[in-house]
Amino acid sequence: MLEPQTVSRPGYRVGLTTLDSEVEVDSLPLEGSIPEWLTGTLLRTGPAKFEVGEQPLRHWFDGLAMLHKFSFGGGRVSYANRFLRSDAYRQAEQGQIAYSEFATDPCRSLFKRAATLFRPQPTDNCNVNLTRLGDEYVAMTETPLPVAFDPETLDALGVAFTPPGTHATAHPHHDPERDELIAYVTHFGPRCEYRIFAQRDRNRQRRIASARVREPAYMHSFALTERYAVLAAFPLVVNPLRLATGLATGARPFIENYEWKPELGTRLLVFDREDGALRGEYAAEPRFAFHHVNAFERGSELVLDLAAYDDASIVDSLYVERLREAPPPPSAYARLLRYRVSLDDPQVEEEELSDVPLELPRIDYRERNGRPYRYVYGAGAHPDGDAPDFLDQLVKLDVEGGEAGAWFEPGSYPGEPVFVPSPEPDRAEDDGVLLSVVLDGRDARSYLLVLDAASLTELGRARVPHHIPFGFHGQYFG
Ligand SMILES: [Fe+2]
């Protein structure tokens, strides 16, 4: 039963409904103005179709991927959107969920004729993040099937490269010195391993480090400092045999094979990026996070900042049906947590840097990733609402001094704020803009919001002719 106010206005729920239309608009209606120096393109991916025929895609992370492109120039904003024509999408056009998604199994009937065993293949539904690899643009999910696409037409161009494992991250880092992507995978097999690797282009890949693991953790992202790669293995873990059985029998989709085992604590694995040696393994309190914010070295100390939860129940909160019923309360969202790891003795100190809800965190990545930094931007939950209302504000936190500001407009639901630095030489860390796709829950349409990153004041907004379902990540390419 919906509350009365949701009858009069769609609210956040429209962000969890399918968008079928694909458009190209030369110039979006613009209120305010955008800086003249902003002349690049914001590309984003996210789920946009939440059912195939009568079958629901069950989790927010399962929706079929759509690419969105906002291009800036001459004071105008153009826009285009297109479903990513992956194999998963083409099968869905035929009415079938053909691949194993995060929390949705494929249609069992597909496998009846071909085999007695149910053998779901991983999906190429790249709805999580995107990046550039050499000259190519690549959309990613957490399977080893990243899909290249044309940034002009948004056409899919097939699998871009093959990560060396079974479960991948959609949050690779970029090493500007070697111009490589650095990422990790979990390899499932008789001997399970975490593997950190570098990908220079479609064909050139090198292994940086490996570590054997008995029950792999679910990890969504990782951290890189100038010298180290850090995996935070939270105690949401899977028995590999249970995973294989769960998928093969159709008993449990991917993530439902994982179990929360707080008694394991969080294990921080610190690898030397140069020779791949395990510098140390450090025990911390049991936590869960999707997103690392940043990490850096300070003498013999390693500082690791995360958008952390007390447990992994947020994964369950993000099933579409459950989200449509009610949003998580503000207290359910992540907080900015700092681990200080003494590398030479097995000691980890933990500090909550702010009690303000923070998800989808972004920093001044190009200048600050792996180095000391001050500001993190993210989506959050406004504390003054009468009732929980999904992610409904943007926040800026100062890791040295707590809260640094927020942007909030009743009835608006902003997504990940992408920081774009201004071209000024010797600029301040927060001299730039934030780009966020915001759902206007009052008229069920979205707009691209441009904020001044220093003050969080609005510079402009460009209205899109439809709603954009809640997405995850995007990148600005100048
Ligand atoms: Fe993510």
pLDDT for 372-411, tens place per residue?
999 999 999 998 666 778 999 999 999 998 777 999 999 9
Question: Within 10 A of 447 (CB to CB), how many other CB atoms are there?
Answer: 24
The tens digit of pLDDT for each residue in 429-446 reads 999 999 999 999 999 999
The rounded Å distance from CA 60 to ligand 1 centre is 12
CA distance 63 to 407: 28
> How confident is the model at residue 249, as a pLDDT?
83
Contact 441, 412 (CB under 8 A): yes
Q: Please, what is the average pLDDT of the chain?
A: 94
CA distance 380 to 363: 15
Give the pLDDT of residue 385.
Answer: 61
Q: Separation of 94 CA from ligand 1 center, angstroms?
A: 29
Q: Give the percent of the chain with pLDDT over 90.
A: 88
Task: Report CA(190)–ligand 1 centroid distance (Å).
Answer: 29
Mean pLDDT in residue range 199-219: 97
DSSP 403-420: EEEEEE-TTEEE--PEEE
Q: Tell me how far apart the alpha carbons of residues 54 and 365 are, in angstroms, rounded to a whole number.
A: 42
State phi, psi for 316 to the nearest 5 degrees.
-70, -30
Higher-scoring residue by pLDDT: 106, 48: 48
34, 476 contact by CB (below 8 A)? no
Centre of ligand 1 from the C-alpha of residue 378, in Å: 12
Query: Alpha-carbon distance 218 to 266, whole Å?
Result: 11
Q: How confident is the model at residue 9 (pLDDT cuts 50, 70, 90)?
A: low
pLDDT score of 281 more than 90? yes
Higher per-residue confidence, 430 vs 1: 430
- The Cα–Cα gap between 182 and 233 comes to 18
**At residue 114, does pLDDT exceed 80?**
no
pLDDT digits (tens, 9 = 90+) for 20-77: 999 999 999 999 999 999 999 999 999 999 999 999 999 999 999 999 999 999 889 9
User: In the beta sheet, which residues pair with residue 167?
Assistant: 186
Residue 233 near residue 253 (C-beta atoms within 8 A):
no
Give me ligand 1 centre to Cα 171, in Å. Answer: 7
Residues of the chain above pLDDT 70, percent: 95
Question: Mind listing the pLDDT tens digit for each residue in 226-260?
Answer: 999 999 999 999 999 999 989 888 889 999 999 99
The string of DSSP codes covering 424-455 is -TT--TT-EEEEEEEEETTTTEEEEEEEETTT
Q: What is the mean pLDDT of residues 147-151?
A: 98
pLDDT score recorded for residue 369 = 98
pTM of the model: 0.95
The pLDDT value recorded for residue 399 is 97
Contact 68, 81 (CB under 8 A): yes
Measured in Å, residue 402 CA sits from the centre of ligand 1 at 23
What's the 169 CA to ligand 1 centre distance in angstroms? 9
For residue 6, what pLDDT is reported? 42
Give the tokens for residue 216.
């792999």
Give 474 Cα–ligand 1 centroid separation in angstroms: 10
Name the nearest CA neighbour of 144 among 156, 129, 126: 126
pLDDT reading at 87 higher than 90: yes
Cβ burial of 78 (10 Å; 0-12, 13-18, 19+) is middle
CA of 278 to the centre of ligand 1 (A): 25
Q: How far is the CA of 326 from the centre of ligand 1 (A)?
A: 22
Please tell me the distance between residue 261's alpha carbon and the centre of ligand 1 in angstroms. 22
Cβ count within 10 A of residue 73: 13
pLDDT band (50, 70, 90) for residue 285: very high
pLDDT score at 404: 77
| Residue pair 166/105 in contact by the 8 Å Cβ criterion | no
The tokens describing 297, both together, are 């070295």
